[in-house]
Amino acid sequence: MRNFLFIFIFFFSGAAVAQTAPPVRLKVLCYNLRFGELASLEELAGFIKAQDPDVVALQEVDCRTYRGRTPEQHGKDFITELGFRTGMLTAFGKTIPYAGGYYGIGILSKYPLASVERIYLPKTADGKEQRAVLVADIEYREGRYFTFASTHLDYVNNQVRQAQVEKLNEVLTSRAHPVILCGDFNARPHYEEIAHGMASWRPLDNTEFTVPANNPLYKIDYIFGYPKERWKSIEAVTYPVQLSDHLPLGALVELHE
């Protein structure tokens, strides 16, 4: 009887410990790089590394392009070089071919990327160019995952953006793991695609304006978490750095397991 009682107490006390395990904290960055027009990759990598993030979502990422406006960046593979300079793992999602190379979105991560997928978003005749979401399942602890996504929505037409947000919800809210979605949505908080389209997500950033960087007038960059009850924002910051036409976002978040 004593042995049985000991096993019973041990089992249930262990279960209680598992249920009250502290949440996991993650530091997230989101940054539209303006294809390196306003800063070198060394400067961009230096800023990212100094923040010591766990994951970074990047937009306007070039790969081996030859833009007339950025001769100093000709032929450079942005995501690979940023990964090398920050010591982080990388993923790149092409959205369009451009200037002899590719243009798109990227992810940097401290932790292993268990899977990576680029998903195209809807493009209508009124849209400017093809857009996508880059989705990675990240193993932040042995056998434990969260989904991290970087996106960049159409900047011309709000109806196109609404269709793109609908697609984001379709492909991300059904994921097996809790999700962080970051990106340049090209939409202000009161626009339909944010106010209604992202209503089921928890905002993890702050409400400060993000563009233009030298005199911010609007907020169009965001960090969201889904499901709401799994995520909590501990601290959020909009960094006043002039390395792009956007200000980067940062958030220290908790994942409740």
**Under CATH, what is the fold of the domain 23-255?**
Deoxyribonuclease I; Chain A (3.60.10)
- d(CA 160, CA 165) in angstroms, rounded, equals 9
Q: Where does the pLDDT of residue 1 fall: very low under 50, low under 70, confident under 90, or very high at 90 and above? A: very low
- What is the predicted pLDDT for the residue at 150? 99
Express each pLDDT in 7-31 by its tens digit: 443 444 444 444 567 899 999 999 9
Q: How far is CA 253 from the centre of its chain?
A: 13
Asked whether the predicted pLDDT for residue 233 surpasses 50, the reply is yes
Neighbours of 199 (CB within 10 A): 9
- The whole-number pLDDT of residue 20 equals 62
Q: With bands split at pLDDT 50, 70 and 90, how would you rate the model's confidence at 182?
A: very high
Q: Which residues of 55-65 are buried (b: 16+ CB within 10 A; e: fewer)?
A: bbbbbbbbbbb
Q: What pTM did the predictor assign?
A: 0.92
**Confidence bin at 128 (pLDDT 50/70/90):** confident
Domain boundaries, the chain: 23-255
